[in-house]
Amino acid sequence: MLPEDQAPAAAARNQMFETTNQLECKERLRGFIKIGQQYDIYLPNIEAPAGYCHRGWNFPFMGSDFKFYTDATKAQEILHIKQNNGFDAWGAFELYDSANGQHVCTFERKFWAGMLQRKWIVTSPEGEELFMIQEDSLVKSLVRRLGGSVIPFLDMILRTNMNFRSLDGATDFGAFNRKFSLRDRYEISRTNENLDGRILWAEGPLLDNAGGR
């Protein structure tokens, strides 16, 4: 365990999100009524979704938020990711707990630093850098970028996986791994209990939809 002052989320926990160290995030097929991107979130070994996420169309210069609910009826909102500018590539996304309005953390996508290997920095509400999210392999990242547009199914074979690590790279907190599937399906895991469960829930839809993966 890390000392408390090095934990990757300093906000008080919401126990609703602390029941598991692993989630699966599945992209839904786009429909004519539900505009935008939709995801179902599953707990391990449970067939019914534990949550639902929706993001509307993301137009340039216009921020588009992510909202998480207990199910697709949208009767109960549980998390809210607020985009504070209109561009995903340079985006900063603030994660809020809908039950109490608590600002949990901010995800900052580092476009220029991630040109060769995608990178995010997660900060506290006060702006302190907590940990980074980065593609797992520079070599695979370069192959995907150079050959993905000309070699069929290369993106499926060399799937976009990302690691959650301390800023010095010494401590792992979890991972975001794409499953072998025609549709976007991800396994998000927590390997260190210092990672807030709300961050675990947020990372699947956020990294898929706003991560340029």
pTM for this predicted structure: 0.84
Q: Return d(Cα 68, Cα 75) in angstroms, integer.
A: 10
Question: For residues 206 and 139, which has the higher predicted lDDT (pLDDT)?
Answer: 206
CATH numeric code, 4-210: 3.20.90
Query: pLDDT tens for residues 184-208?
Result: 789 999 999 899 999 999 999 999 9
Give start and end residues of each alpha helix (H) in 15-58: none
78, pLDDT greater than 80 = yes
CA atoms within a 13 Å half-sphere pointing along the CA-CB vector of 9: 24
Which whole-number Å values give the CA distances from 48 to 51, 64, 71, 158, in the listed order?
A: 9, 27, 10, 29
- C-beta atoms surrounding 58 within 10 Å: 18
39 touches 205 (CB < 8 A): yes
What's the token pair of residue 188? 């998000």
Q: What are phi and psi of 155, to 5 degrees?
A: -65, -30
Inter-residue contact 203 to 21 (CB < 8 Å): no
Nearest to 199 by CA among 3, 13, 36: 13
pLDDT tens sequence across 39-61: 999 999 999 999 999 998 877 77
